[in-house]
Amino acid sequence: MASALLFALLSAALLASTATTRVEARAFFVFGDSLVDVGNNNYLATTARADAPPYGIDYPGRRATGRFSNGFNIPDLISQSIGQSESPLPYLSPSMSGSKLLIGANFASAGVGILNDTGVQFVNIIRIGQQLQYFQQYQSRVSQIIGPVEAQRLVNQALVLITLGGNDFVNNYYLVPFSARSRQYTLQNYVPFIISEYRKVLKRLHGLGARKVLVTGTGPLGCVPAELAQRSRNGECSAELQRAAGLFNPQLTQMLLSLNSELGGDIFVAANTQLTHYDFINNPQAFGFVTSKVACCGQGRYNGIGLCTPLSNLCPNRDVYAFWDPFHPSERANRIIVQQILTGDLNYMNPMNLSTILAMDSQT
């Protein structure tokens, strides 16, 4: 009887120490759209999926995982940069349990935006309000494993990435001519409206315990192959969509700085991904790309029409294309974006880059 009790106590102590050890590694949480989705939409009845070849052609095992990429996407590369052994799983994955929960979780879902009416054509996607509800549910699940105090510490010390906004233009305001939102708002009024809605999302995220949050702006919306195919005569970027991105990104940065001031700390960090994209769109050769206009996978003009499918044109060398499909960067372009997130100056990362955040944390 005594030996059985001793065994039980030793097992409990070992389990507790293992859990604590694993929590010592920084957790990572991801919210947003297809730029950061790692496969949640695989588990939903939606057309916004990337679970068939040639997606994942350069991913380990050449598997289509649900990432809108030929290989790794931005969360994968950030995860590697902060020393995680693996990227957090999609929250809807059946494997998301036990020790896997302690790494963090990816709640992102392709097609979503800041607004609930963004991406309605995709039907079953995890809108941002639901992503935050799942984050709340996640915390309850982790509390059952390591206790509420340790769970709160895990969340407070975690790194968070959120990527929203692009779909509120391409899959809402500009989705069709005379869309409901474009009849309701001029562009100059629409942008402050979605920024104010985004502020509410971020305050709720802070209320759920997030304390280190990378917030990416939109890329150069008018320069992606899909928009060039539809709107460009000679390969020039769409002026209207560029105007939208040019209004949104500075207002996002100002809102984040204002929110930090209100909350009394550098909680939110603005990542100027539009500027990073511009670097290799304006001068692709300087970054080793042969083109920033034509997608690697697609069809029609600039390979920008429709979806990337097994029947699409497919480039032999993904590393020399800035865009993998009509909307999404290649893995190599994602690496350039993440490098700027890590080391970029104030023009790219405001008020500080990720390397600075990690260095400051290591001293506390």
Q: Which residues are catalytic?
A: 34, 325, 328
In whole angstroms, give the CA distance from residue 187 to residue 176.
15
Calpha distance 273→31 (Å, rounded): 16
330/56 Cα distance (integer angstroms): 11
Q: Give the Cβ contact number of residue 72 at 10 Å.
A: 24
Residue type, 335: R
Name the residue type at position 76: D
**Are the beta carbons of 159 and 28 closer than 8 angstroms?**
yes
CA count, 13 A, side-chain hemisphere, 325: 23
Q: What is the DSSP letter of 349?
A: E
Q: Three-state DSSP class for 160? A: strand
Q: What gap in Å lies between CA 122 and CA 113, rounded to an integer?
A: 12
CA angle, corner 326, sides to 321 and 329, nearest 5? Answer: 45
Q: Which two tokens stand for residue 19?
A: 């859990």
What is the spatial distance between Cα 290 and Cα 322, in angstroms, rounded to a whole number? Answer: 8
**Pairwise CA distance, residues 64 & 220, whole Å:** 26
